[in-house]
């Protein structure tokens, strides 16, 4: 693709392109613009794109992390900053865990013949399509009732003594509970995508390293991992996106202190009187990290998407 000669097209073609771009980006731009408007301006609809931009909505949204008190607010009801932090921790930790665990498994599935390999690879393929909604009931039940430490037991008792609270110590309501289900949910997909990348690593390279005396783990970390970086990037973006955007399971598992941004947005939407400006500001803040990824790593995203679908 290095040649810089482009075909000439007729003007109607460019008109079509512009319409398409307008259609796909328009709603996002509209939301971006509205997040800088006062509610009065949004509901009256005056001005269109000509309005006085205000950061008041963002001040309201971020009131719990601002170093000053916005003057239009008497009370900081929206705990957006905390939710944002929760989202960040959960998404980052689960992405890293999924990647490390996933690429090890993918490597084993591609490079080794061992008993149970076919079963493992088939299971991975099949559970890939399990939707979050199907996991809702069992995860809710298990995380609340079974994956618990008895409060009278040693570890559970220690946690209760240190952090306080009542009842058994359960996974539900903790960051680790949400992270666990996200890692499990994303693993099949990551393994699947990375397999196609590992297949492309020339075997001779690994064998050369082994002849030089490297153990299997050294071969993996020093030879294979650096070579599948594009695949890792693609897988990381997809995993992060799912963990960052997911609503349903997070809403079932989180409590007041661990709720993520999507939950906060949905909770504020369902209230009777929607404050459009503020809600769009929070929506924009949630959308910004994926948008940044897309702008900087669109090539990896496209590679990942096509690898996941076509080479499967």
Partner 1 sequence: MTSQFFNRMTPYMFMAPAGIIMAIALIYPLGYMMYGSLLDWNPSQSIGEAEFVGLKNYVTLWFDPAFRESLGVTLTFAFFVVVAEMLIGVGLALLLDRNIRGMSVLRTLFILPMMIAPVVVGLMWRYMYHPSIGIFNRFLDKVGLEKVDWLGQNALMSVILADIWQWTPFIFILSLAALQSLPQSAIEASRIDGATPWQQIVYIKLPMMLPILIVTALLRLIDAFKVLEVILVMTEGGPGLSTEILALRISRTATEFRELGVAAAMSNYLLMLLMILTVSMFAFTRWQERRANRLAAAIQEDE
Q: Which residues within the stretch 92-131 sit at the binding site for partner 1 (CB under 8 A)?
A: 100-102, 104-105, 107-109, 112, 114, 117, 120, 123-131
Is residue 244 part of the contact set for partner 1 (CB under 8 A)?
Answer: yes
Which 188-217 positions form the footprint of partner 1 (CB under 8 A)? 188, 191, 216
Asked if 245 contacts 290 with a C-beta cutoff of 8 angstroms, the reply is yes
Q: Is the dihedral of CA 86, 299, 231, 197 positive or negative?
A: positive
C-beta closer to partner 1: residue 63 or 105: 105
List Cα–Cα distances, 274 to 37, 61, 267, in angstroms. Answer: 14, 14, 10
Which 27-56 positions form the footprint of partner 1 (CB under 8 A)? 27-28, 30-31, 34, 42-43, 45
CB atoms within 10 A of CB 287: 17
CB of 27 to partner 1, least distance (A): 5
Is residue 187 part of the contact set for partner 1 (CB under 8 A)?
Answer: yes
**Count of positions on this chain that bind partner 1 (CB under 8 A):** 95
Q: Residue 170 phi/psi, 5° resolution?
A: -115, 165
CB of 90 to partner 1, least distance (A): 14
C-beta closer to partner 1: residue 52 or 295: 295
Name the DSSP class of 220.
Answer: I
List Cα–Cα distances, 166 to 148, 158, 160, in angstroms. Answer: 13, 12, 7
The whole-angstrom separation of Cα 93 and Cα 236 is 11
C-beta closer to partner 1: residue 71 or 166: 166
- 3-state SS, residue 45: coil
Which 142-181 positions form the footprint of partner 1 (CB under 8 A)? 142, 145-146, 180-181
CB atoms within 10 A of CB 73: 14
Is residue 134 part of the contact set for partner 1 (CB under 8 A)?
Answer: yes
Which 271-310 positions form the footprint of partner 1 (CB under 8 A)? 276, 279-280, 283-284, 286-287, 290-291, 293-295, 298-299, 301-302, 305-306, 309-310
Is residue 7 part of the contact set for partner 1 (CB under 8 A)?
Answer: yes
First vs last Cα of the chain: how many Å apart? Answer: 26
CB of 68 to partner 1, least distance (A): 28
CB atoms within 10 A of CB 18: 10
């Amino acid at each position: 693709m290095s040649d810089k000669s482009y075909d000439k097209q007729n003007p109607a073609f460019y008109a079509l392109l512009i319409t398409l771009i307008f259609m796909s980006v328009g709603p996002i731009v509209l939301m971006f613009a509205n997040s800088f408007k006062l509610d009065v301006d949004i509901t009256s609809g005056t001005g269109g794109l000509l309005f006085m931009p205000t950061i008041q909505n963002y001040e309201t949204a971020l009131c719990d992390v601002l170093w000053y008190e916005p003057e239009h607010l008497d009370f900081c009801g929206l705990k957006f900053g905390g939710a944002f932090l929760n989202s960040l921790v959960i998404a980052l930790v689960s992405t890293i865990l999924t990647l490390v665990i996933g690429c090890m498994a993918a490597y084993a599935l591609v490079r080794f013949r061992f008993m149970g390999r076919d079963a493992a690879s088939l299971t991975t393929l099949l559970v890939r399509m399990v939707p979050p909604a199907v996991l809702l009931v069992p995860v809710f039940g298990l995380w609340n009732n079974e994956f618990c430490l008895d409060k009278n037991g040693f570890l559970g008792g220690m946690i209760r003594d240190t952090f306080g609270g009542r009842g058994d110590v359960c996974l539900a309501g903790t960051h680790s509970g949400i992270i666990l289900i996200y890692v499990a949910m994303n693993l099949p997909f990551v393994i699947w995508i990375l397999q196609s990348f590992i297949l492309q690593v020339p075997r001779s390279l690994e064998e050369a390293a082994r002849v030089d005396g490297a153990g299997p783990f050294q071969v993996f970390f020093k030879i294979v991992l650096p070579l599948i970086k594009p695949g890792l990037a693609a897988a990381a973006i997809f995993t992060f996106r799912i963990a960052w955007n997911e609503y349903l399971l997070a809403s079932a598992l989180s409590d007041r202190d661990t709720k993520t941004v999507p939950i906060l947005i949905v909770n504020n939407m369902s209230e009777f009187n929607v404050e459009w400006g503020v809600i769009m500001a929070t929506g924009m803040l949630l959308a910004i990290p994926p948008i940044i990824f897309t702008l900087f790593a669109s090539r990896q995203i496209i590679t990942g998407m096509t690898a996941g679908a076509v080479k499967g």
